[in-house]
Amino acid sequence: MLSAVPRPVIVRAPSKVNLHLGVGDLREDGYHELTSVFQALSLHDDIEVRDADELSVVVQGESARVVPTDHRNLVWQAAELLAERAGRDPAVAIAIAKGIPVAGGMAGGSADAAATLVALDELWELGLERADLDEYAARLGSDVPFSLRGGTAIGTGRGEKLLPVLSRNTFHWVLALAKGGLRTPDVFRELDRLRAEGDPPRLGDPDELMHALAVGDPHQLAPLLGNDLQPAALSLKPELRRTLRAGTAAGALAGIVSGSGPTCAFLCADADAAVAVSAELAGAGVCRTVRTAHGPVPGARVIDDKTEH
């Protein structure tokens, strides 16, 4: 007889870049009011869940060593949250294959949490409504609802209140992954400090950027990319200035710090340009490693196997 190895569920979740990240004032609950235009990118994590005797987490791939495998990991918290809702033990083995840089400003932890919600909904046949998943996602973290949804969207509140944004065409990106990460709360705190000291410029509204997305023209989009967290990320990691300069010198249309950094994202004219920029940037010695990616792509979704594209 064949041994009864439980069949896994595999879910792929995208990374993200903020095309526009407008940061408002610090709220009483410790969060900042945001206006964020997100785009989901093809650089992804895959999460595999299967029935087991107890909850466990293993991590493979990109900087796996520094990812916690206990209750500090959002996938652990996602499993406990859904188990409570389902009235069962969170007895699952979760394997995370990381492609998204850890603490890189690309929502890697949020992607894993969103993927776990989708995977356990499927494994435990919960049949959750979209609205329920969105609510659990928002409880786990500000970026988790976007990791569920994917595509291109505008987020307000903590970033968790989402509306889809019309975006034509595929955009091509080069990502410069830094040595070491930045903790999101540290970057927000640094921005508060910079704002208390002086008055760094703040982004306006993203109307023109949304128009450029609807037109689907990277040349029009490039000068409109903006991130209010960038001065704070650069203050904590001044070497990122060189990375940003090297990307545009290599032929990118524009470069920005992705979210809270330290990953730098470079928008390119097309797929060929992205390959050329990535080759040049890789040789410039201004980052740990370089990846190409495209977007928008879908949010967390069940796939048949990890070789799927």
Nearest approach in angstroms of CB 30 to ligand C5P is 6
Annotated catalytic residue, options 45, 143, 228, 237: 143
User: For residues 299 and 177, is the Cβ–Cβ distance under 8 A?
Assistant: no
Nearer to ligand C5P among residue 124 and residue 188 (C-beta) = 188
Which of 16, 46, 112, 228 does the annotation list as catalytic? 16
Tokens of 180: 């070491």
Residue closer to ligand C5P (CB basis): 236 or 284: 236
Residues 32-61 that bind ligand C5P (CB under 6 A): 32, 34
Q: In the structure encoding, which two tokens stand for residue 301, read together?
A: 């979704």
Site residues for ligand C5P, window 115-174 (CB under 6 A)? 141-143, 158-159
Window of 30-38, 91-99, 232-240, 284-292 that interacts with ligand C5P by CB under 6 A: 30-38
HEC sequence for the chain: CCCCCCCCEEEEEEEEEEEEEEEEEECCCCCEEEEEEEEEEEEEEEEEEEECCCCEEEEEECCHHHCCCCCCCHHHHHHHHHHHHHCCCCCEEEEEEECCCCCCCCCHHHHHHHHHHHHHHHHCCCCCCHHHHHHHHHHHCCCHHHHHHECEEEEECCCCEEEECCCCCCEEEEEEECCCCCCHHHHHHHHHHHHHHCCCCCCCCCHHHHHHHHHCCHHHHHHHCEECCHHHHHHHCCCHHHHHHHHHHCCCCEEEECCCCCCEEEEECCHHHHHHHHHHHHHCCCCCEEEEEEECCECCEEECCCCCC
Minimum distance from residue 116 beta carbon to ligand C5P (Å): 15
80/280 with CB nearer ligand C5P: 80
Q: Which of residues 228-287 bind ligand C5P (CB under 6 A)?
A: none
Q: Closer to ligand C5P at the Cβ: 30 or 127?
A: 30
In angstroms, what is the minimal distance from the CB of 289 to ligand C5P?
Answer: 25
The nearer residue to ligand C5P, 141 or 218, going by C-beta atoms, is 141
Q: Which stretch binds ligand C5P (CB under 6 A): 64-72, 182-190, 226-234, 276-284?
A: 182-190
Residue ranges of the annotated binding site for ATP are: 101-111
Residues belonging to the binding site are 101-111
Judge whether 186 counts as a catalytic residue: no
Residue 56, Cβ density class (10 Å: 0-12 exposed, 13-18 middle, ≥19 buried):
middle
User: Taking CB under 6 A as the rule, does residue 188 contact ligand C5P?
Assistant: yes
Stretch that binds ligand C5P, among 28-36, 65-73, 233-241, 246-254 (CB under 6 A): 28-36
Is 16 one of the annotated active-site residues of the chain?
yes
Q: Which residues bind ligand C5P (CB under 6 A)?
A: 30-32, 34, 141-143, 158-159, 184-185, 188
The catalytic residue positions are: 16, 143
